[in-house]
A and B are shown apart, each in its own frame.
Chain A
Amino acid sequence: MSSWLADTITQAQTIDDWLSPKRAQSLALLEATNWPNRKTEAWRYTPVNKIERATFKQTSTLQDIATHIPNLDAIDLVFVDGIFDAAASSKTFPAGLTINQLADGKDHDWALESFKNTKPDRHFFGLINDTLATQGCIIDVANDTAIEQPIRILQSFQQGSQSHTRILMRLGKRSSACVIEQLQGDSLSLNTSFAEYQIADQAKLEHYRLALQCSEAISIGGSHFSLGEKADLDSNLVGFGSQLSRVDIDIIHAGESAHSQLNVIYLLDGKELFDLHSAIEHTKPHGTSEQNVRCIVADHANAIFNGRIHIHRNAQKILAEMNNRNLLMSDDAQINTKPELEIYADDVRCAHGATIAEIDEKAMYYLQSRGISRSEAQVMLSFGFINELVDMMNNQAIAQWLRPILRQRFADMEIR
């Protein structure tokens, strides 16, 4: 057993709270699970021994992106190194919205039930998070409630910190809300951050995970969704990559006729690594899902995408699409992409594609025919390739905030 894991287990055994029964289950699983290595399929391209080797040193002064998003009038829940910052957080909430700290969950019956309910046990660091997450929040939206103001959970991480947070959200029937998980920090820190969402029948969740930790940060986490009948999920993930960034997304269509859309952008430079594992579970008929995963990889960076669509027996009339397109900017950049389809129903439409794209020559010719140089056109088209997904974001404040940040990051990639 890894020494980090041994320490983790020892530490977990000291935690005694309302989640203890659940934590004990995960702890038992952890003790029976091997520390992931290259032979562990889910961690094949993502070495976690960095966690063992982590030496706490000062990082290069990469520009830390401001966390403030102009024109975004959000309900803010701020965590610094995994500790709730009440002073920086919103204090009043609109009718129908209840927000509590994770520590106060014992007063909410549903919370205990929903813990570990949508996040599958196969996620190794999810189990670790189960045993150690004492901070986080519980968000409850009543039935028939439209929460207009986005809810932003802002987590920033500083040098040397280790933290584990959990978000539990329940979105009532026919209700709607927008949740933004924003994670930032570039110095050496370790965090696991998992969120579980229960989206009831006919409810609609707009979701953003802005996984903008970069450079030395070690960030492992996931967003996991369970969709009721006719529920609708519009999820967007933006990832920067760091020495180790791993995100797992599970979208479980638990009710009939649910719809989910997952758009993902990642932009990697230097020696950064970003690993996304997504799984869409169609358990009931008449559902639709669409995934667009686009990534640009420069220098020696490494992008990993494992996308799984699982259509269960009797889940007929499903329409599922998965599209992964990648742009390689250097000879040393790496992309490991693996689409997986598992289909046990016979009347479904399922499409997947993964391409390591070159520039679209037709578009290139069009731009050049207007006098734009090939090199400039290349920048425009490459950026356009990811900007297309930014254009699709429903929240304009986020889109407007992200565009120049992504453009700058892309420009920095160009220089090398």
Chain B
Amino acid sequence: MLEIKNLQASVADKQIINNLDLKINPGEVHAIMGPNGAGKSTLSYALTGRDGYEISQGSATLDGEDLLEMEVEERATAGLFLAFQYPVEIPGVSNMEFLKASVDAQRAARSLEKYSSSEFLKVAKAACKQVNLPLSFLKRGVNEGFSGGEKKRNEIMQMILLQPKLAILDESDSGLDIDALKVVADGINSQRDGKRSFLVITHYQRLLDYIKPDFVHVLADGKIVKSGGPELALELEAHGYSWLESYDRNAEDESE
């Protein structure tokens, strides 16, 4: 599914990702954990093609297609999805208009017919209910005035509607109370169908109680320094990141 080889990425001429390798097979759930500044968000921005995130070396492919050659929207329609850590507010553009345009684009890329407005309304309402957001949120501006938890749920709703091949969840658990965390985790789990893959980025083991990963990787200093099964997350939780070999805390990441 996703294959990253020897990836180097920099932001403002500062190298953040160093020779990173990662392979995710269809249906697998991988978790990436790591301290602040390890390069977790940079990795997700570099893969989705955010402006200013330069790839100096290496490759990243999705089902064999070269992601790095594609425009941002082409990566999305190729099946890559990012649930943002800090979703942007876009007043004046209604959530509904945004979701419809997104789903239209995805369906066009898959040679499926556009939903009619009434068909889409049904689908959107169902997804909205699934993540426990009031239907009025469909009418509001994109993320406008949403609380942190509501924004995270709106991201999961988009994932449910867009049906990606690979979803990157960038700290989808941060700032959530336990009830909201369950809603988010249930939303993610509902999309696990044995084919769709997930890359779950998190600081804490807590989310992984709800979303059982197949693999856990520790990212530090822009590369994966340790990989293992779910038990690795428990060890990290018990011992903290200092338990790992020393890493450079100065690297900047989580840039918003």
Q: Pick out which of these stretches binds chain B: A113-121, A215-223, A241-249, A365-373.
A: A365-373
A385 with B101: CB separation less than 8 A: no
Chain B residues contacting A361 (CB-CB under 8 Å) are 51
Chain A residues contacting B48 (CB-CB under 8 Å) are 369
CB closest residue in chain A, given B108: A371
In angstroms, Cα B140 to Cα A225, docked, is: 32
In angstroms, Cα B90 to Cα A114, docked, is: 43
B73 with A366: CB separation less than 8 A: no
Residue from A370, A374, A390 in contact with B98 in the complex, judged by beta carbons closer than 8 Å? A370
B50 with A365: CB separation less than 8 A: yes
B84 with A366: CB separation less than 8 A: yes
Q: Say if the beta carbon of A381 comes within 8 Å of chain B.
A: yes
A371 with B105: CB separation less than 8 A: yes
B158 with A370: CB separation less than 8 A: yes
CB closest residue in chain A, given B89: A363
Q: Say if the beta carbon of A362 comes within 8 Å of chain B.
A: yes
A363 with B72: CB separation less than 8 A: no
Given contacts A361-B51, A371-B102, contact A366 B90 (CB under 8 A): yes
Q: Is the contact region of chain A dominated by helix, strand, or loop, or is it mixed?
A: helix
Q: Say if the beta carbon of A386 comes within 8 Å of chain B.
A: yes
In angstroms, Cα B91 to Cα A342, docked, is: 31
Nearest CB of chain A from residue B214's CB, rounded to whole Å: 25
Nearest CB of chain A from residue B172's CB, rounded to whole Å: 15
How many A residues touch the partner, as a band?
A: 20 to 34
Nearest CB of chain A from residue B42's CB, rounded to whole Å: 14
In angstroms, Cα B140 to Cα A126, docked, is: 41
Chain B residues contacting A351 (CB-CB under 8 Å) are none
Q: Say if the beta carbon of B162 comes within 8 Å of chain A.
A: yes
Given contacts A368-B72, A370-B158, A370-B162, contact A387 B101 (CB under 8 A): no
A384 with B93: CB separation less than 8 A: yes
Nearest CB of chain B from residue A266's CB, rounded to whole Å: 15
Q: Say if the beta carbon of A347 comes within 8 Å of chain B.
A: no
In angstroms, Cα B90 to Cα A360, docked, is: 9
Given contacts A366-B84, A366-B87, A380-B101, contact A371 B93 (CB under 8 A): no
A386 with B92: CB separation less than 8 A: yes
CB closest residue in chain B, given A386: B92
A387 with B72: CB separation less than 8 A: no
In angstroms, Cα B93 to Cα A373, docked, is: 15
Q: Say if the beta carbon of B31 comes within 8 Å of chain A.
A: no
Q: Say if the beta carbon of B254 comes within 8 Å of chain A.
A: no
Chain A residues contacting B88 (CB-CB under 8 Å) are 362-363, 366
How many B residues touch the partner, as a band?
A: 20 to 34
> Which of A320-370 touch B at CB < 8 Å?
360-363, 365-370
B76 with A368: CB separation less than 8 A: yes
Residue from A370, A388, A391 in contact with B105 in the complex, judged by beta carbons closer than 8 Å? A370
Chain A residues contacting B65 (CB-CB under 8 Å) are none
B71 with A367: CB separation less than 8 A: no
In angstroms, Cα B50 to Cα A348, docked, is: 41
- Report how many A-B pairs have Cβ atoms within 8 Å: 84
B92 with A383: CB separation less than 8 A: yes
Chain A residues contacting B77 (CB-CB under 8 Å) are 371
In angstroms, Cα B93 to Cα A206, docked, is: 24
B82 with A369: CB separation less than 8 A: yes
Q: A-facing mask of B68-90, CB < 8 A → 1, else 0?
A: 00011101110001101001101
Q: A-facing mask of B39-62, CB < 8 A → 1, else 0?
A: 000000000111100000000000
Q: Say if the beta carbon of B109 comes within 8 Å of chain A.
A: yes
B109 with A381: CB separation less than 8 A: no
Residue from A362, A372, A381, A389 in contact with B73 in the complex, judged by beta carbons closer than 8 Å? A372
Chain A residues contacting B92 (CB-CB under 8 Å) are 383-391
B91 with A370: CB separation less than 8 A: no
Q: A-facing mask of B105-133, CB < 8 A → 1, else 0?
A: 11001000000000000000000000000
Nearest CB of chain B from residue A209's CB, rounded to whole Å: 21
Given contacts A362-B88, A391-B141, contact A369 B72 (CB under 8 A): yes
Q: Say if the beta carbon of A31 comes within 8 Å of chain B.
A: no
A373 with B90: CB separation less than 8 A: no
Residue from B51, B97, B102, B142 in contact with A365 in the complex, judged by beta carbons closer than 8 Å? B51
Chain B residues contacting A373 (CB-CB under 8 Å) are 73, 105
Residue from A374, A376, A391 in contact with B91 in the complex, judged by beta carbons closer than 8 Å? A391
In angstroms, Cα B59 to Cα A401, docked, is: 51
- Name the residue among B49, B75, B84, B92 with the largest chain A CB count within 10 angstroms: B92
> Which of B162-219 touch A at CB < 8 Å?
162
A372 with B102: CB separation less than 8 A: yes
A-B contact pairs, 12 of them (CB 8 A): A361-B51, A365-B50, A365-B51, A366-B87, A367-B90, A368-B73, A372-B98, A372-B101, A376-B105, A380-B101, A384-B91, A391-B91
Q: B residues engaging A (CB < 8 A)?
A: 48-51, 71-73, 75-77, 81-82, 84, 87-88, 90-93, 97-98, 101-102, 105-106, 109, 141-142, 158, 162
Besides A374-B71, A384-B92, 4 more A-B contacts (Cβ < 8 Å) are A363-B90, A366-B87, A371-B76, A371-B109
Q: A residues engaging B (CB < 8 A)?
A: 360-363, 365-374, 376, 380-381, 383-391
